[in-house]
Structure 1
């Protein structure tokens, strides 16, 4: 089952950095950006996370929480967060529970070989827990700006 636009996103709880658990329902009243990335500490994922980090004050002003998700273990996520000075939590989704809710596990090709992995994707959830916008098959350059613009517009309504 995958989320659909303008429908409530199923609640989930998942282990995250900072010795926390992210529970979606506890974020009601705020907008939430959940971005999925293939692997911590790789170049594209580092750039994407940095782009979100650098825009966090504007996301905060738009009442929007940022959460990153990958299948990396919690230690890899902690190291990635610390090294890049990310000012938001990263979920360790080793069992793919959150990935499956958002249907981001895809067959991918790298260097001519097929493997299963996370398709870089971002979701904007409104303050009532409904999926407001989605971006799938994301290209990193300019993406955080596009998401920020959408979050600010949604907050203004």
Structure 2
């Protein structure tokens, strides 16, 4: 089972940075951005996270929580968050339960070798817990701004 636009996102609980867990149902009443990235502390993922970090006040003003997700372990996520001064939670999805829920594991090619990995993707969940927007196969440049504008539009309606 995976998420569909306009449908409620199934509730989930995940291990996050700061020795916390994130439960989607506890965020009801707020919009939620869930962005998936391939690997902590790599150039594209660092840039993308920084773009979300630098817009966090505007996301807050649009009543929107930011959650970053990868398959990295919690220690790698903690280090990535601390080093980049991220002001939002990073989720460790080692068992790929969230990756499967959002269907972001894809066959990728790197140096001619195929492997399964996270396709950079972002999801915007509305304040009622329904999937409002999705971006798949994301290019980092300008992406966080586009997500912010979508969150602001959704919040204002």
**Could you tell me the TM-score, scaled by structure 2's length?**
1.00
Task: Show the counterpart of 2:107.
Answer: 107
Structure 2: distance between partners of 1:138 and 1:110: 17
Task: Show the counterpart of 1:36.
Answer: 36
| SS in structure 2 at match of 1:45 | helix
1:119 aligns with 2:119: yes
Structure 2: distance between partners of 1:98 and 1:13: 9
Please give the residue correspondences for 1:1-157 in structure 2 after superposition, counting only pairs within 5 Å: 1-157=1-157
Structure 1's consecutive aligned runs of 4 or more residues displaced over 6 angstroms after TM superposition are none
- Structure 2's unaligned 5+ residue stretches are none
Q: Provide the aligned C-alpha RMSD in A.
A: 0.3
CA offsets, 1:91-127, max 9 Å, x none?
0000001111100001001111100000000000000
Structure 1: distance between partners of 2:135 and 2:102: 11
| SS in structure 1 at match of 2:41 | coil
Q: Number of paired residues?
A: 157
Structure 1: distance between partners of 2:137 and 2:69: 15
Shift of 1:2: 1.2
Shift of 1:144: 0.3
Shift of 1:143: 0.2
CA offsets, 1:57-94, max 9 Å, x none?
00000000000000000000000000000000000000
- Structure 1's unaligned 5+ residue stretches are none
